[in-house]
Chain A
Amino acid sequence: MSTEITVTVNGTEHTASVEPRLLLAHFLRDVLNLTGTHVGCDTSQCGACTVHLNGEAVKSCTVFAVQANGSEVTTVEGLADGESYSHVQQGFWDEHGLQCGFCTPGMIMTAEALLKQNPNPSEEEIRAGIAGNYCRCTGYQNIVNAIGAAAKAGK
């Protein structure tokens, strides 16, 4: 049984016929070719697949695409305005908030959501905010610095 869904992704409406078991992460990557969203652990823990669903950060490996029917999704591809990066993206660039970069899209999407809820987080609040995003390279220090820099730039 296939189900027709309409999802607005980064401002563009897409209609597709999908198997109900298709995960939102694979809908974005394999149907829409938006491969910025990464699948890391595939067990709802690492956060690499984080996107925004109706403005809230979610792990897209733990949402079926059919659940997003009628919703708005933002992926990492939807953050920059032309050549101009979002504050969080610029923060990761300036503070070198990555090494291999695999966790970065999810880390950025979570940071965007965190700063929307709490525009001026303490270091402790940043660390708690990204508790659902794993980085296996950096030890997190530059990621925390990057989010702090983005908060400052957003003031």
Chain B
Amino acid sequence: MVTSNFDYFAPTSVDEATSLLSRYRGEAKVLAGGHSLIPMMKLRLAEPGVLVDIGQIEGLSYINESSDGVAIGSMTTYREMANSSVIQSNYPLLADASAKVADLQVRNRGTIGGSLAHSDPAGDIPAVILAIGGNVVARTRRSTREINIDRFQVDLLTTSLRDNEIITEIKLPALASGTGTAYSKFHQPASHYAITGVAAVITVSGGTCTDARIAVTGAGDKATRARRTERILKGKELTPAVIRRAASRAAAELEDSLNEDIHASAEYRAHLTQVHAGYAIDQAVAAAG
């Protein structure tokens, strides 16, 4: 399959890339790993007139740990995150989810920044980052801003990123001691996309949940916090009954936007979301120790 024609630029700095985005605003798309954009272009679902390939820019691929947390360069690949000891020890669910994206070849190319910017409704990374919390750093030619991940995913394939902005970094907060994390996904066997995936980040103190962030992907039109589940968990002693009740509300926020396709009906997706919420919460609580 052949994509539409486009003009191609391979800038070697973020400044040069953001200048190109300003010059071709509305016409240009950013090419990162390309594993969502190129398939869409081949199907002519996307026909950008200009591609700004940020793959030649040095210094966008890194994982830096500090006392505040971890900063991840936007061009860091799934494979690099899955293999990173910093990610494995600070955010085990991100390492685990990265290792479960698609297949080895895709993990070598696909990036954290690309995954967030594309915001696939069945992508793994958006839900995981939403559960961890943190900020997306976006740069234009003139300015830099940080977008709270809770305000980043807007709609199906839509984020609050402007068309002259490039994601340069993802800033994740240090997790409180006593925090356990888990990602539980039911995947479509051919594509490995999530039919449903639930990410859980839970802080436990003396058997009681002091904080919880739960996010769901695959079931709705975008990665979404399961706030009712979080509310049921917070402040409670984490008995099996409380966890069961919390998991049973995991699809509540998605009622109006549940996906339905050849792989799973809306009803089945809602059910799977509750089941995997239970698994993710159980695993996160166990990991919290």
Contacts and interface: CB of A to CB of B under 8 A. Distances in A.
A1 B106 contact: no
B2 interface: yes
A21 B5 contact: yes
B39 A66 contact: no
Contacts of A20: 5-8, 51
Nearest to B43: A43
Contact of B4 (A21, A43, A131): A21
23 contacts: A1-B5, A19-B5, A21-B5, A21-B6, A43-B39, A44-B38, A45-B190, A47-B103, A58-B105, A59-B109, A62-B35, A62-B38, A62-B39, A63-B34, A64-B31, A66-B10, A67-B31, A69-B10, A70-B56, A130-B104, A131-B103, A131-B104, A132-B105
Contacts of A57: 104-105, 108
Interface residues on B, range: 20 to 34
Contacts of B42: 42-43
Given A21-B5, A66-B53, A45 B35 contact: no
Given A47-B105, A58-B105, A114-B104, 15 more contacts: A20-B5, A20-B6, A20-B8, A43-B43, A59-B109, A62-B34, A62-B38, A62-B39, A63-B109, A64-B31, A66-B10, A67-B10, A70-B56, A110-B104, A132-B102
A132 B34 contact: no
A57 to B, nearest CB: 5
A1 B8 contact: yes
A132 B103 contact: yes
Nearest to A20: B8
Most chain-A Cβ atoms within 10 A of its Cβ — which of B1, B4, B8, B53?
B8
A57 B5 CA distance: 27
- 5 A-B pairs with the lowest CB-CB distances in the bound complex, closest first: A132-B103, A20-B8, A56-B108, A131-B103, A21-B3
A85 B105 CA distance: 23
Contacts of B118: none
Contacts, number: 78
B105 A50 contact: yes
A42 B38 CA distance: 11
B20 to A, nearest CB: 14
A36 interface: no
A3 to B, nearest CB: 6
A75 to B, nearest CB: 14
B55 interface: yes
B192 A131 contact: yes
A129 interface: yes
B230 to A, nearest CB: 32
Interface string A114-140: 100000000000000111110000000
A44 B3 contact: no
B191 interface: yes
A66 B52 CA distance: 12
Nearest to A54: B108
B55 A67 contact: yes
A141 B104 CA distance: 19
A113 interface: yes
A148 B284 CA distance: 35
A144 B192 CA distance: 20
A31 to B, nearest CB: 15
A131 B4 CA distance: 30
Contacts of A69: 10
B55 A132 contact: no
Nearest to B109: A58
Interface string B103-146: 11110110000000000000000000000000000000000000
Contacts of A64: 8, 31, 34, 38
